[in-house]
């Protein structure tokens, strides 16, 4: 049947296009990973001298691991701040009416779409005029602020899925607001909250734009890598990049599975774009 034939043709072209796009998206990182095992360095073709040398150098590199520790610390604290405030903000947006609510909503979501350096710069000016010295703490404050929007969008979406009648039933049965929050609301938000935590953590670990301006003496991992890039490329960077890739991969697949079990996959699209804007 000719209709079926042209449908098959169409799907072949679209599949080809999809293949090209996936190749475009994955090849660069694949190359990176391959060359982390390349004895001869980051460039040159074909890769030869399979070696684990660069990984060995990496593991001996104290400065990198110190920065990893810093990043982990910052990310953990950023999760606490962003998640706490973001959940609160989501509840406020869902349930409260107050003057300036529209402005509040826009402000909370703005760092998502605004280039990161603007957020970083404005905070720098704040800290500078208050005489606050730059340090890991200022970075924490910066990440926390920038990433509130991630938690807000995820939790807000989760609140829409929550059946209001459940909370009403809880109140009807004699629980007060606080009890209802702990026993009904929060458990229903478990998945969005865990998902948001994963996302915030991952984004914080990779964050550069805001951190760039708020860094004190201690480096985070991305900034440590950044500093080395200015001095010259070594495949050691390929090695650490590969490790980062693997961890991000695991975190994201986990996050995705959590989200899908909470709701349909296509729903993730809209919020994801907003949250993904934090990538730099």
- The residues in 79-98 that bind another protein, with binding defined as CB under 8 A, are 84-86, 88-89, 91-92, 95-96, 98
Q: Tell me how far, at minimum, the Cβ of 150 lies from another protein, in Å.
A: 12
Does the footprint of another protein cover residue 165 (CB under 8 A)?
no
Q: Which two tokens stand for residue 111?
A: 């760092």
- Region from 43-51, 52-60, 154-162, 187-195 binding another protein, contact rule CB under 8 A: 43-51
Q: Does the protein bind another protein through residue 60 (CB under 8 A)?
A: no
Per-residue HEC secondary structure of the chain comes to CHHHHHHHHHHHHHHHHHHHHHHHHHHHHHHHHHHCCECCCCCCCCCCCECCHHHHHHHHCHHHHHHHHHHHHHHHHHHHHHHHHHHHHHHHHHHCCCCCHHHHHHHHHHHHHCCHHHHHHHHHHHHHHCCCCCCHHHHHHHHHHHHHHHHHHHHHHHHHHCCHHHHHHHHHCCCCHHHHHHHHHHHHCHHHHHHHHHHHHHHHHHCCHHHHHHCCCCCCHHHHHHHHHHHCCCHHHHHHHHHHHHHHHHHHHHHHHHHHHHCCHHHHHHHHHHHHHHHC
- Residues with Cβ within 8 Å of residue 218, at least 6 apart in sequence: 66, 67, 70, 135, 136
- Out of 238, 239, 258, 262, point to the residue binding another protein (CB under 8 A): 238
Among 50, 107, 169, 186, contact with another protein (rule: CB under 8 A): 107
Site stretch for another protein (CB under 8 A), options 17-25, 51-59, 66-74, 155-163: 17-25
Which residue of 74, 124, 184, 200 would you call a contact of another protein, by CB under 8 A? 124
- Answer for which of 110, 169, 183, 190 binds another protein (CB under 8 A) is 110
Q: Applying CB under 8 A, which of residues 58, 64, 78, 108 lies at the interface with another protein? A: 108
Hey, which residues between 187 and 206 contact another protein (CB under 8 A)?
Answer: 199, 202-203, 205-206
**For residues 76 and 272, which CB has a smaller minimum distance to another protein in the complex?**
272
Instruction: Work out whether 174 is an interface residue with another protein (CB under 8 A).
Output: no
Q: Does 226 bind another protein (CB under 8 A)?
A: yes
Residue 56 or 128: the one with the smaller Cβ distance to another protein is 128
| Minimum distance, C-beta of residue 59 to another protein, in the bound complex (Å) | 18
How many residues touch another protein (CB under 8 A)? 101
CA dihedral 39, 43, 47, 52 (to 10 degrees): 30
Q: Does 256 bind another protein (CB under 8 A)?
A: yes
**Residues 261-280: x where in contact with another protein by CB under 8 A, - otherwise, as a string:** ----xxxxxx-xx--xx-xx
């Amino acid at each position: 049947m000719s209709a079926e034939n042209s449908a098959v043709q169409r799907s072949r072209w679209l599949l080809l296009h999809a293949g090209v796009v996936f190749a475009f998206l994955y090849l660069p990182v694949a190359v990176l990973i391959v060359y982390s095992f390349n004895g001869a360095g980051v460039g040159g073709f074909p890769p030869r001298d399979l070696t684990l040398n660069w990984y060995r150098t990496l593991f001996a590199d104290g400065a990198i691991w110190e920065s990893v520790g810093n990043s982990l610390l910052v990310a953990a604290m950023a999760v606490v701040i962003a998640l706490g405030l973001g959940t609160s903000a989501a509840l406020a947006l869902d349930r409260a009416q107050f003057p300036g609510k529209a402005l509040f909503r826009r402000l909370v979501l703005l760092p998502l779409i605004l280039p990161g350096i603007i957020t970083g710069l404005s905070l720098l000016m704040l800290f500078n005029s208050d005489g606050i010295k730059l340090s890991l703490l200022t970075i924490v404050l910066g990440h926390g602020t920038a990433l509130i929007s991630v938690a807000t969008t995820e939790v807000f979406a989760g609140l829409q899925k929550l059946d209001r009648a459940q909370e009403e039933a809880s109140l009807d049965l004699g629980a007060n607001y606080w009890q209802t929050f702990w026993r009904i609301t929060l458990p229903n938000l478990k998945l969005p909250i865990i998902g948001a935590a994963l996302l915030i953590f991952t984004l914080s670990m990779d964050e550069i734009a805001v951190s760039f301006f708020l860094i004190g003496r201690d480096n985070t991992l991305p900034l440590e890598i950044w500093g080395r890039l200015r001095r010259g490329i070594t495949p050691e960077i390929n090695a650490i990049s590969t490790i980062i890739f693997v961890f991000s991969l695991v975190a994201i697949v986990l996050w995705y599975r959590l989200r899908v079990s909470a709701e349909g996959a296509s729903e993730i699209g809209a919020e994801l774009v907003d949250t993904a804007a934090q990538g730099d």
